[in-house]
Structure 1
Amino acid sequence: MRQQGSTLTLAGNGEERWKLTRPLSQHAALIEAACFGATLQEAARHKLEADMLDAGGIGSITTCLSQAALAGLASFSQQLLEQLTLLIAQENQFAEMGQALEVLYALWRLDEISGMQGAQILQTTLCAAIDRTLWLCESNGRPDEKEFHAHLHSWQALCHILRDLHSGVNLPGVSLSAAVALLERRSQAIHAPALDRGAALGALMRLEHPNASAEAALTMLAQLSPAQSGEALHGLLALARHQLACQPAFIAGFSSHLNQLSDDDFINALPDLRAAMAWLPPRERGTLAHQVLEHYQLAQLPISALQNAVALSTASHCTSSTTRTAGTGIAATLGSFPCLN
């Protein structure tokens, strides 16, 4: 009986603690398990195959494959591979794909200890999962509040894999060019949810696409309604915060965009914009605030001056576009950040 140890093959430090016992129930359990195979390895493989075929979604399939890795089982029948491909193609929840992609890719790429690295069953299920994720990301609607972060996690996991393929990782069965073309379509789809448009453009930025730039992000935000701009910014920063937060052109353009909003539009958009800016850690928000001051040629002032200006505007209910100058508009979206003077 295992008393201590991780349930995931790549988690923890690899240490396990077992206790040897011989309970009376062990004999009955061994007799029942014998129906799966004559040897321990054969029985474990057949039991996992049965569990995978009975799985209710890609999450359950991924759990079974993690257990296979812990058991050191990397070889399965071709018939099972074909059936798993069909099962994964039936998954209809985009938000479910992120965790599965993360685990499958890590096992396929990194798991040398259990012998699962590059295993055919992982390559087959991973390719099927990527294909299904790409299909779902182009056909799904706006996620509800409960699935919001899982939805973005799926975008992030997909982008991580595509970025590695772009860097030279070879995964037969996945077309990077087809995936990039899909991201282009999604980022430009007028009727697509703003969150997906922003995430698709952010993914293209991570892939160093020539048409994905700070200017393209600003153009997208300008095309969307104020209520949608916060969602689009969520997607952009979740996928490409490093590419945008340090871009003076984006900071200047985004500040100008906020200053052009009407009073009501700015107030209505502010909660979503602040939530989107939460993707930036406090220190990065402080660095961005420094860049805002530099843009308005106020670099000699401490960040606290920018915070005080926002607080003064809020206290006096001065949220009109005439008071949203010298960076107070974008500073309002940043919320709190450390004073990095």
Structure 2
Amino acid sequence: MPATFLGVRHHSPACARLVASTIETLRPAIVLVEGPADVNDRIDELLLGHRLPIAIFSYYRDAERAQSSWTPFCEYSPEWVALTAGRAQGAEVRFIDLPAWHPALSERRNRYADAEIRYSAVVDELCRRFAVDNVDTLWDHLFETGDDVGLAERLAAYFDLLRGVPAGEEPAVEETDGDPARGILAAARPETAGGSTPEDAAGVEVSPADAAREAYMADRVRAAVAEAGDRPVLVITGGFHRPALVAAAGTPEARTAPPEVPRPAEDAVTGSCLVPYSFARLDSFVGYEAGMPSPEYYRRLWEHGPERAAEAVMTAVVGRLRERGQPVSTADLIAARAAAEGLARLRGHRVPSRTDMLDGLVTALVSEDLEHPLPWTSRGRITPGTHPAVVEMVSALRGDHVGELHPDTPAPPLVHTVQAELERHGLVDGEVTLDLTGHEGRERSRLLHRLRVLGIPDIERTAGPTTGTEAVAEENWRLADGPHRLTALIEAGAYGATPVDAVTALLEERTAAARSDVDALAAVLFDAASCGLAESTRNVAVAVEAGVAGAMDLGALGRVLATVLGLWRHDRLLGSARSPLFGALVRGSVTRVLWLSEAIQAGPGPADLPRLAAVAATRDALRHAETALGLDRAAAVAVMRRISVDEAAPPDLRGAAFGFCWSLGDGDSGIGADAGTEARAAALPRVLGDWLTGLFLLARDEVLTAGARSADVDANRADVLTVLDEIVAAMTDEDFLLALPALRGAFEFFPPREREAIAEGLLARRGLAGSARGLLRTAVDPLLIAEATALEARVARLCAREGLVPTEDRR
């Protein structure tokens, strides 16, 4: 007996009802379902009696690639109904698709991603003909809100058109009046929707990945038909695959045994396990790629039918809005229902659909102009800035259901290991404060950091060191065993059986993904140190060292150097002090910063703070690690001396290079006393502020103390602040206005107390008495004062040029 094929849309209540009724009528001996064939020996585990939604989580890692994916089920998933109803009827139920780790599914995070997204020409034409916004609204219009009479034929027509019907042929559908199949056939015949060329009209060209999957499923179907003999076989797959499987079923094949399940590479780590899922992860509005948005609405549609679903969901939306403080009266609710019913009649729906309800609610409850299109008029995530009431409507239709696995469900070893370690360290829900100076505190911290890196939710660090350079010896954490922890632990179990093994594998995966992104590599390295794994993740350190050697972004390189230097210096907190691996990274980073710095030429724009920070990190490395790591101070100072006098170098970098030498105590050359001379050389209004920014960032302390040291030198070698005062005093109003923004930015490197000391020195130099603090706290923005002064000067010059002199002056 030939197989019966049902093409479905994943998570569609209409398709689920069709599957249930077909199984009841056909009473098949074998039910074949699109799903991972490597899980067939665990079907009993899948059907233990879980609270849905749940998912099969699959993972794969080898030397070339790493991937993970989900095969989710909810109560109204056609595949789930096929498994449960088939088993209840006594049928043999099996999955027939390739394993999730197979290369044919390497681009899929979700096995049940909608084919309509990938092959959308026909869908776009149907949406245009039916005057709907997108495939979700089209689907509801054609299938979810109508009755089930002729549903199988309508679905077959739809999916045949989606796949591409050969030119000159039509699906075997009876075109009765009022049947939407007539509209489908009229709206999207191959010659209009499939393309303009004969090749296009003959059907959609499938990807090699889909072709491989369909060939494998076809072999599984033929083997099942041969096994069943004269007993019925029912095949449930995504509708896009149905036409290909129907065609393959008519092709004679010698094979009667099912194909073997592909085996992963010998060095691969792979597996599948069940995880709790949630409606939030099913909703396309938050990024789920398999369609059917608003899972709470479709759950009610599945359980109660379209009439009661519309009423119940609208009440739920209003209740949620009231909980969020939105004023919604009974009259508003009545108005929303009336608007939804009116829209349903206008659009030809027997009862209000999902979008009819949402549009009715917006009409009745939102009076303001909307800055963004309504989310249900397109596919994908909600646009930031969407009206709050609209966001709450979408959230209400999403629902908050979270699945729960049966207690007898096997779990990866990591789940049990983590639970045991949390109990051993006394880490229970609530606020936790850890003293990082003690062994127990560090061990507890490392466990929590391992869970943080693994992405376990509700384990949040609220305070603590962030780089290794802070004098912070305490961490604060907030722990809560929320509903998503088990799911995350099961998924993290793909990386290893213990937190150490799992984090090590994950960090190596992140390192490979980062490639030459030194910022990302530095973050990986700090996470490794925080987890107490700095010495055991040599692959990470080697990758960071290679990234440093080829880095071209001076700012990013500086951030890496600062992070690694902090890790190398501090042993009590992170246990990585004097690490040979980190020491090698410090040496490589210093060499690369010096090499890149000398190659930079002047360009437009303000001071580049990230590259100045890289120079500062290099200076710090020489201060703290010169002897221990064998860094060449003389060579570094020589590079910075050359940069400081190179007119082709950017002014901010020249200032930083000068400050670099000064702050390292280049006493033999008396460089501190030369600061005033260098300031005069950089006195052009457009560059002075940038030069000072570099200088102050590197040598702030030296600038503040230079006045006392300059007392014994001649006036031409006065301290930089005295020279700066002279330069600014000599500026015209226009030049001062031009220089002021950068000057203000430069002095931001001094904290308030030090700025007050500078102001006191300024008053003393001018022989003035007054409050330095008051000088810093003007009632009006100094920039506004400068602009007003410059404007007055321009007006005075213009008046003088035109002979408009005040009467008193004429006398």
Counterparts in 2 of 1:136-175, with a 5 A limit?
A: 136-142=596-602, 148-165=608-625, 170-172=628-630, 174-175=631-632
CA distance in 2, matches of 1:79, 1:217: 46
Change (3 A) 1:287 1:203: same
Task: Give the letter aligned to residue 706 of structure 2.
Answer: Q
Deviation at residue 223 of structure 1 after TM alignment: 2.3
2:728 and 2:736 in contact (8 A); partners too: yes
Aligned to 2:579: 119
Deviation at residue 180 of structure 1 after TM alignment: 1.3
RMSD of aligned Cα (Å): 3.6
**Match for residue 184 of structure 1 among 634, 641, 645:** 641
Aligned to 1:69: 529
Deviation at residue 112 of structure 1 after TM alignment: 3.0
Structure 1 residues 9-39: Cα deviation after superposition (integer angstroms, max 9, x where no partner): 7567234455679836745642x324xxx76
Change (3 A) 1:106 1:292: same
Change (3 A) 1:150 1:276: same
CA distance in 2, matches of 1:285, 1:145: 26
**Which has the larger share of strand?**
2
Structure 1 residues 110-135: Cα deviation after superposition (integer angstroms, max 9, x where no partner): 03344322222222222222222222
Structure 1 residues 171-221: Cα deviation after superposition (integer angstroms, max 9, x where no partner): 24x322211111111111121111001011111111111235454222223
SS where residue 72 of structure 1 aligns? Answer: coil
**Match for residue 203 of structure 1 among 660, 663, 670:** 660
Change (3 A) 1:283 1:202: same
Aligned to 1:271: 741
Deviation at residue 108 of structure 1 after TM alignment: 0.9
Change (3 A) 1:217 1:49: same
Change (3 A) 1:221 1:54: same
Aligned to 1:51: 510
Larger mean Cα displacement after TM superposition, 90-99 or 189-198: 90-99
Aligned to 2:474: 13
CA distance in 1, matches of 2:533, 2:658: 39
Deviation at residue 66 of structure 1 after TM alignment: 1.4
Change (3 A) 1:43 1:289: closer
Change (3 A) 1:139 1:150: same
Aligned to 2:393: none
CA distance in 2, matches of 1:163, 1:297: 39
CA distance in 1, matches of 2:486, 2:789: 74
CA distance in 2, matches of 1:51, 1:291: 52
SS where residue 4 of structure 1 aligns? Answer: strand
2:679 and 2:723 in contact (8 A); partners too: no
State whether structure 2 residue 700 is matched by structure 1 residue 228.
Answer: no
Deviation at residue 233 of structure 1 after TM alignment: 1.0
Task: Give the letter aligned to residue 97 of structure 1.
Answer: L
1:8 and 1:70 in contact (8 A); partners too: no
Deviation at residue 106 of structure 1 after TM alignment: 1.1
Structure 1 residues 157-176: Cα deviation after superposition (integer angstroms, max 9, x where no partner): 2222223246xx5224x322
Change (3 A) 1:28 1:107: closer
CA distance in 1, matches of 2:490, 2:730: 76
Aligned to 1:256: 726
Change (3 A) 1:301 1:69: closer
Change (3 A) 1:223 1:142: same
CA distance in 2, matches of 1:165, 1:319: 54
Q: Structure 2 length as normaliser, TM-score?
A: 0.35
Change (3 A) 1:145 1:3: farther
Aligned to 2:699: 240
1:186 and 1:200 in contact (8 A); partners too: yes
State whether structure 2 residue 756 is matched by structure 1 residue 286.
Answer: yes
SS where residue 459 of structure 2 aligns? Answer: strand
CA distance in 2, matches of 1:145, 1:219: 25
CA distance in 1, matches of 2:557, 2:758: 32
Structure 2 regions of 5+ residues with no counterpart?
A: 1-455, 708-717, 795-811
Q: Structure 1 length as normaliser, TM-score?
A: 0.76
Structure 1 residues 118-155: Cα deviation after superposition (integer angstroms, max 9, x where no partner): 22222222222222222222223457769833233223
Deviation at residue 109 of structure 1 after TM alignment: 0.7
CA distance in 2, matches of 1:44, 1:175: 36
Larger mean Cα displacement after TM superposition, 46-55 or 15-24: 15-24
CA distance in 1, matches of 2:793, 2:704: 24
Task: Give the letter aligned to residue 291 of structure 1.
Answer: G
Aligned to 1:331: none
1:313 and 1:319 in contact (8 A); partners too: no
SS where residue 486 of structure 2 aligns? Answer: coil
CA distance in 2, matches of 1:146, 1:53: 35
**Match for residue 88 of structure 1 among 548, 555, 572:** 548
Task: Give the letter aligned to residue 23 of structure 1.
Answer: L
SS where residue 749 of structure 2 aligns? Answer: coil
State whether structure 2 residue 490 is matched by structure 1 residue 33.
Answer: no
Change (3 A) 1:149 1:54: same
CA distance in 2, matches of 1:129, 1:59: 13
2:602 and 2:648 in contact (8 A); partners too: no
CA distance in 2, matches of 1:85, 1:209: 30
**Which has the larger share of helix?**
1
Change (3 A) 1:285 1:319: farther
CA distance in 1, matches of 2:504, 2:772: 60
1:229 and 1:269 in contact (8 A); partners too: yes
CA distance in 1, matches of 2:773, 2:581: 56
1:53 and 1:84 in contact (8 A); partners too: no
Larger mean Cα displacement after TM superposition, 67-76 or 88-97: 67-76
Task: Give the letter aligned to residue 279 of structure 1.
Answer: F
SS where residue 475 of structure 2 aligns? Answer: coil
Aligned to 1:3: 459
Deviation at residue 284 of structure 1 after TM alignment: 1.9
> Which structure has the higher relative contact order (CA within 8 Å, separation 6+)?
1
Change (3 A) 1:303 1:188: same
Change (3 A) 1:99 1:39: same
Change (3 A) 1:150 1:108: same
SS where residue 54 of structure 1 aligns? Answer: helix
